[in-house]
Amino acid sequence: MPMNIAIDGPVGAGKSSIADHVARRLNILHLDTGAMYRAFGLYALRSGVDLASEEALSALVEKVDVQVEYADGAQRTLLFGEDVSDLIRTGEVSAAASAVSKWPAVRRRMVRAQQEMAARADMLIDGRDIGTVVLKDSPCKIYLTAASEERARRRYVQQLAKGDNTPFDQVLRELIARDEQDMNRKTDPLRQAEDAVLVDSTNMTEEETVEAIVKIVEEVYGKQ
């Protein structure tokens, strides 16, 4: 059985970058499942379909080709062979990913692909439904969160550094809207699995959070 670690949490909890650090420390791959929903969201935007149409998106997900590759340990996300890893980081694609990910047919397709990858390699997987669905039998689950103001502040600082001047209030509003959508959808909403360990990073540095998670993993799988 490969070593599979699940990390779930809301927008801006730092899952991706924390998961990256933890995976490097453990020398295993990190699968960012949000990138897969984002790639499909980008495809839906490009295709011009109505993101609120279950029928249109269920048909579209049958056609899409989303692949994940690793270059020097870093994930690259491919849409029909095109590397869209950077293109999928816009606000427009974030909102599209959140919208398309609520449809059961879309989730089924993505979950299946993620489970196939997890069965083949030691992997740390981050997302919204990893502990509850994708790796529901994993012995190692973490729910990583932080206060919404703090998550918005981190996102705001990150965006500013990239030259994006979106005001803090708007960042906070969009983050709360996406949380709402992800936590209240009918199919596999974001929630803490009963057997997940809660890590609240509101008052923790990135290094402290990485250490806390490595410790949880080592308690389950032993020292790596």
Binding mask 38-77 toward ligand DC (x if CB under 6 A, else -) reads: x---------------------------------------
Residue from 77, 101, 138, 145 touching ligand DC (CB under 6 A): that is: 101
Neighbours of 107 (CB within 10 A): 21
- Give the contact letters, 126-165, x = binds to ligand DC (CB under 6 A), - = no: -xxxx-----------------------------------
Going by C-beta distance under 8 Å and a sequence separation of 6 or more, which residues neighbour residue 124? 4, 5, 7, 19, 22, 23, 26, 28, 29, 30, 31
Contacts of 68 (CB under 8 A, 6+ apart): 31, 35, 36, 75, 76, 77, 78, 117
The answer to whether residue 98 forms part of the interface with ligand DC (CB under 6 A) is: yes
Q: Closest distance between ligand DC and the C-beta of residue 188, in Å?
A: 7
Considering only residues 3, 22, 28, 37, which one is a binding residue for ligand DC as defined by CB under 6 A?
A: 37
b/e map 173-192, b = 16+ CB within 10 Å: ebbbebbebbeebeebebeb
Residue of the chain from 68, 178, 201, 209 that contacts ligand DC (CB under 6 A):
178
Task: Give the binding site for ligand DC (CB under 6 A).
Answer: 11, 33-34, 37-38, 97-98, 101, 127-130, 178, 182
